[in-house]
Chain A
Amino acid sequence: MTPSGTHVQGQIKTEADRIVLCGDWTLAHYEALRRLVIAEGQLADNRSLDWRELGELDTAGASLLVDLIGNERCRDLSTTAPDLSASRRALLETVAEAQRQDLDARPRTPNMAVEFLEDVGKRAESIWRQQATLAGFVGLTLTTLASVIFRPQRWRITALAVQIKQTGLDAMPIVALLTFLVGAVVAFLGATVLREFGATIYTVDLVAYSFLREFGVLLAAILLAGRTASAFAAQLGSMKANEEIDAIRALGLNPIELLVLPRVIAMIITLPILTFVGMVSGILGGMLVCALTLDITPLQFVRIIERDISVEHFFVGISKAPVFAFVIAVIGCVEGFKVTGSAESVGEHTTSSVVQSIFMVILLNAIAALFFMEMDW
């Protein structure tokens, strides 16, 4: 392609009455050529151009040459540069045509303070909108549930069973292990603090109390918020991005009924079960520590629980589970439905679902604790 066969960086040689363009004008030399073109400035019209020594030329080089010789002049290359081959002329003309528009026009950027205020406003509005959407979605889910619940032929038993397995059964080992460890840690704490008062026997009450009322349900709920809300958001989000949800609607089916209800109901069924597992295994963890460090035998441990802890505490704890389950599942699903097109959006909403559901679980738990305390339950 190169007449001389050698590859040298492009140059602009200025002679008395003409300008010689030589060497390769390619992407490989772009930065250097750009500096050259800027140093030269746009060429005056009166001198002729000599193209004969031009080596390789590509779009990047052509773009710089168009900057150099000016857009107008590129239009009548056919008369001014007869020694330029047809394909190169076409290339230069195409690039010149493309560069005729103002390519570097940028939207006006406001200053930092305005941008900050705008950002704050946008975020505040988006939090408000998010809550409104969530409330709307909760309503939608409940009405769909109400319309389906008395028609057993519309129950999605298979989907429900699959969801129960995925959200409940598969999470059982991790919930049991985690609560067991936390139970042991609580017992250690109790043993250390209560020893000073000579009341180590109350470690049993501490473990049983905390797990029945708070920790069992809280740990299980936080775990499912991380594990299941994210899964829901990602599953539904990918389906949304792939237009599968639109396809469901277009087939005259209700995506809430098909996708959301089985997930929500599965969560409402499994979280209380997991909470129960969490309570038992947390108490077992405490029992182990008591037996090893405080010489409280498991039999004694159970006796103390039987004597001191009434069954209300268990009910207080377990009654929160369905509420948390509903909130987690709905947040997971609503975030999935909010996904728009891109892969990035799926990630964004998955993260948001986890953060929101953990936040809501802890918030609701605090409100519930206040309520139960005031009610003396």
Chain B
Amino acid sequence: MSDTQTAFISVRGLCNRFGSHSVHENLDLDIYRGEILGVVGGSGTGKSVLMRTLIGLNVPAEGRIEVVSSAAKPPPNPDPAMLACNFGVLFQHGALFSSLTLQENVAVPLIEQAGLKREHAEHLARVKLAMVGLPPEAALNYPAELSGGMIKRGALARALALDPDLLFLDEPTAGLDPIGAADFDRLIVTLRDALDLTVFLVTHDLDTLYTSCDRIAVLAQQRVQVADTLERVAEFDDPWIHDYFHGPRGRAAQTAARRQTTRGH
């Protein structure tokens, strides 16, 4: 990603405070179109708060969030607090509506926002569920009957229901087995390529960072310390970042990613 490219979303001088506790101070961040941006940081550095602020679930104390919107798709949400572009969100625990089946969950935004007939919305919902790799039988199950990985996939299908420009993923691979997590990483890259998505991905999973992220933003000391490609971030002069990428797990993920690339060639 070159610096000359204009940002799709630019965050400037963002401050988030809860009482006397300050989570973000003067935070700046750019998100470019078509990239997968991984956001990392220690526990409590406000990764999820940043995501919630971008979505509009959390009103910042100060700061601006600007969207260079493609006027092609009008925002589905009239609420001014929400981002002025079409976006989908995958919450950490899926947040699927427990009283609805999987296909109804995906059909909800299609019926409510796009105004489709129920029958058509459910057909399209099944297409989306198949796209995220769920078997057709799963469509009629309730979330309580599904495994963690299937819930994540179902929630991703719901996030993709309205064909968003921007996808927010909050720890998508947390709680998945390594095979499921690797599948999920691949799925996100495939969908990004196919649907021309921009992805904002909060994660703790180093493998995800190595295999799917184009750029990485590190949150620490209430702001984004560095946001760049993985190689440059890993070389950044900061003890926490150094420990993060060069600790035992970081090295393992790095070796795994390298092995995969060489095999791919």
Contacts and interface: CB of A to CB of B under 8 A. Distances in A.
A345 B160 CA distance: 28
A344 B98 contact: yes
B67 interface: no
Interface of B: 70, 72-73, 98-99, 110, 114-117, 120, 123-124, 126-128, 130-131, 135-136, 139-140, 142-144, 160, 162-163, 190-191, 193-196
Contacts, number: 87
A104 B119 CA distance: 10
B136 A91 contact: no
Contacts of A7: 72
B131 A30 contact: no
22 contacts: A1-B70, A2-B72, A7-B72, A26-B163, A27-B114, A27-B162, A30-B114, A30-B116, A34-B120, A56-B72, A60-B124, A91-B194, A95-B127, A95-B131, A98-B128, A98-B130, A99-B130, A101-B135, A103-B123, A340-B144, A341-B98, A342-B142
Contacts of B140: 107
Give 9 closest A-B pairs by Cβ, nearest first: A342-B98, A98-B130, A341-B144, A58-B163, A103-B126, A98-B131, A344-B99, A90-B194, A94-B194
Contacts of B126: 103-104
A33 to B, nearest CB: 10
B72 A103 contact: no
A97 B72 CA distance: 27
Contacts of B98: 341-345
B131 A94 contact: yes
B147 to A, nearest CB: 12
A29 to B, nearest CB: 10
Contacts of B139: 103
For chain A, what secondary structure do more than half of its interface residues adopt (helix, strand, loop), or is it mixed? helix
A26 B130 CA distance: 19
Contact of A101 (B116, B136, B160, B190): B136
A37 to B, nearest CB: 11
Contact of B130 (A30, A31, A103, A343): A103
Contacts of B72: 1-2, 7, 56
A193 B127 CA distance: 72
A125 interface: no
A87 interface: yes
A203 interface: no
A286 B13 CA distance: 71
A31 B120 contact: yes
B128 A342 contact: no
Given A27-B114, A98-B127, 15 more contacts: A1-B70, A27-B110, A27-B163, A34-B120, A59-B195, A60-B124, A87-B193, A87-B194, A91-B194, A91-B195, A98-B128, A98-B130, A103-B130, A342-B142, A345-B98
B114 A28 contact: yes
Given A2-B72, A90-B193, A104 B99 contact: no
A24 to B, nearest CB: 8
Interface in A99-156: 99, 101-105, 107
B136 A63 contact: no
A27 B73 CA distance: 10
A102 B116 contact: no
A31 B116 contact: yes
Nearest to A341: B144
Contacts of A103: 123, 126-127, 130, 136, 139
A344 B97 CA distance: 9
B200 to A, nearest CB: 20
Contacts of B144: 340-342, 345
Contacts of A27: 110, 114, 116, 162-163
A67 to B, nearest CB: 10
Contacts of B115: 31
A2 B73 CA distance: 12
Contacts of B124: 30, 59-60, 63
A111 to B, nearest CB: 20
A59 B127 contact: yes
A344 B142 CA distance: 11
Nearest to A64: B124
Nearest to B144: A341
A107 B139 CA distance: 12
A343 B194 contact: no
Contacts of A90: 193-194
Contacts of A344: 98-99
A221 B80 CA distance: 51
Contact of A99 (B99, B127, B135): B127
Contact of A63 (B117, B127, B135, B196): B127
A301 to B, nearest CB: 55
B95 to A, nearest CB: 11
Nearest to A1: B72
Given A56-B72, A58-B163, A87-B194, A105 B136 contact: yes
Contacts of B127: 59, 63, 95, 98-99, 103
